[in-house]
Every structure is written in C-alpha cells, then in structure tokens.
Amino acid sequence: MSYVTSIVERLRAAGCVFAEEEAGLLAAAATDDVHLAGMVARRVDGEPLEHVVGWAEFCGLRVEVGAGAFVPRRRTEFLVQEAVELARPGAVVLDLCCGVGALGAAVAAQVPGGVELHVADIDPAALAYARRNVAPYGGSVWEGDLYGALPAELRGRVDVLVVNAPYVPTGEIGLMPPEARDHEPLVSLDGGSDGLDVHRRVAAEAARWLAPGGHLLIETSVRQAPLTASALTGGGLEVRAVTSEELYATVVIGRAPAPAV
C-alpha cells in the first residue's frame, strides 16, 4: 500500500467525504513527510482542512486562514456576486464582521478599476489574516465592535456594505458540524436567541454610514430572511431579498434613500 493510499484510507475512516482531494491538498502543502504526517493527524482529529493547510478557496482566491479563524463558506460567494453587481469602480466598500476579510477581498478583486476597501472585526486573531488578505487591494483594517471600529470620515460614504455576521441561534450551535463548533470562534457563530442579534445592530446604524443610494447586503437563512428584512426596514432602508438555489444562499439587500432631486 502506498503512503498516499494509506492517507486516503485514514481520512476516509475519519469521515472525510472527499478523502482523495484532501490527501492531495495536504500533500501539496507539506514541506516534508514529517510535516505531512502532522497535518494528516490534525485533520483526522477533526480540525478543518482549511486550518490545516492554511488557506481556503473563495471566489477563485486563495484566502489565508488558520487555527481559531472562521472559514469562509462557499454559499457566501452569492453575497459577493450581488455586491459586485452594485459596486461601481472606485466605490467605497466596507466588509463589516469581516473575519479574515474574504468578502472584502473578493469584491475588490472583481470590480473593474478597484474599490476603496475597508474591513472591520472585533477579533484580533481574525484581523491578522485579514490584513494579509486585503493588502493586495490596498484595504484598510479596523478593529472594534461593529461601527465602533470605524473612522468618523467613513460616515455617510459607504457605497457597498457587506456583512456575513453570525446568524445561528444560540440553541442550535450544538447542531453545527464539529469542525465549526469546536474549531471556529463562538463570536463568529452565535447570533443570539433567534440568531439575529447582530443583524439588528448592523441594521440600526447602517443608514448613518451608507452613502445616499448605498447598499447593505447581509447573509441570512430563508427561514430568518423576513426578520432580517424587517430589521433593515426598521433602519430606514428599502429592502429586497434574493436567493440562490444552487448555493443554498439568501441575501437581504437594503438601499439607503437616494438624495432628493
């Protein structure tokens, strides 16, 4: 039995559905056999593959991640698609609750002519990765609790505000896959009693930070979309919801009032 075959069998026995692909990624990331053996052991023990290899693929980018960081999900690529359609060249783009900065980096990478990118999060460990991920796009990184992290000069200037805030209800955290609940920070998963505590806080102040006619895009679930939409409406935004059946993704979009003509 070859060494690679034995790795595949260990991964498959540990419950890895795509064991062959994972074995290839682990082998490519390893510097030597000892390093590879250590990475395989971490994966078999349940650590997310992205944490083990140090990156996640997101919107065609290789985004740096690591232990203790939230791994960007493929469904969130739908939010990026919607944001890119709304972002003009040179737009001020803010990725709030940015984690490792994947959304902001992906939007900046896809808007022709680039954007003025800002990302913010409360977690300093996540921001260490975000700084590297947004650096190619000249992104500014801010640490703090939601809008409290931001410089005052951004107020009323944000054209596109993207948010992938936690929206899992506290009582459902235990139902999440072990990779998430055991290895990602609780602050990036727990959305409060109904999952929408952070959504409400984002919505309450969004209009103050959005430029006239600017947009807030926030990921939610189909079940929670009406409540997320209600929060945005309560914040003074014009609201619509969009869904991708392919990615099982739902995004609520709020538009700030345009200036009177």
What pLDDT, on the 0 to 100 scale, is given for residue 178? 85
Q: Work out whether the CA dihedral 71, 75, 81, 82 comes out positive or negative.
A: negative
Say how far apart CA 168 and CA 194 lie, in whole Å: 8
**pLDDT tens readout for residues 122-161:** 999 999 999 999 999 999 999 999 999 999 999 999 999 9
Better-scored residue on pLDDT, 34 or 111: 111
Residue with the larger pLDDT of the pair 6 and 84: 84
Question: What is the reported pLDDT for 36?
Answer: 87
Q: Which sign does the torsion angle of CA 111, 134, 201, 90 carry? A: negative
Residue that wins the pLDDT comparison between 36 and 89: 89
Whether residue 21 is predicted with pLDDT greater than 90 in this model: the reply is no
Q: Which pLDDT belongs to residue 2?
A: 58
- Give the pLDDT of residue 95: 98
How many residues are listed for the chain in this entry? 261
Distance CA 31, CA 119 (A): 32
Torsion of CA 142, 144, 148, 151, to 10 degrees: -20
Residue type at position 134: V
User: Helix, strand or coil for residue 100?
Assistant: coil
- pLDDT confidence tier of residue 22, bands split at 50, 70 and 90: confident
pLDDT at 3: 64
Does the pLDDT at position 1 exceed 70? no
For tokens 């995004």, the residue is: 251
If DSSP codes are grouped into helix, strand and coil, which group holds residue 220? strand
- Does the pLDDT value for residue 67 go beyond 80? yes
Distances (CA, A) of 21 to 88, 140, 161: 37, 35, 35
Q: Phi-psi region for residue 189, left (φ > 0), alpha (ψ -120 to 50) or beta?
A: alpha
pLDDT > 90? residue 201: yes
- Kindly report the average pLDDT of the chain as a whole number: 93
SS3 242: strand
The percent of residues above 70 in pLDDT, for the chain, comes to 98
Long-range CB pairs of 54-57, under 8 A, 24+ apart, other chains included: 54/29, 56/102
- Residue 14: CB atoms within 10 A of its CB come to 14
Coil, helix or strand at residue 114: coil
pTM over the 0.75 mark: yes
**Cβ count near 240 (within 10 Å):** 12
In the predicted model, is pLDDT for residue 33 greater than 90? no
User: How confident is the model over 220-254, as pLDDT tens digits?
Assistant: 999 999 999 999 999 999 999 999 999 999 999 99
Q: Which two tokens stand for residue 99?
A: 């984690």
Which pLDDT band holds residue 260 (cuts at 50, 70, 90)? low
Look at residue 5 in the predicted model and tell me its pLDDT.
Answer: 77
Confidence at residue 261, expressed as pLDDT on a 0 to 100 scale: 58
pLDDT over 90, % of the chain: 74
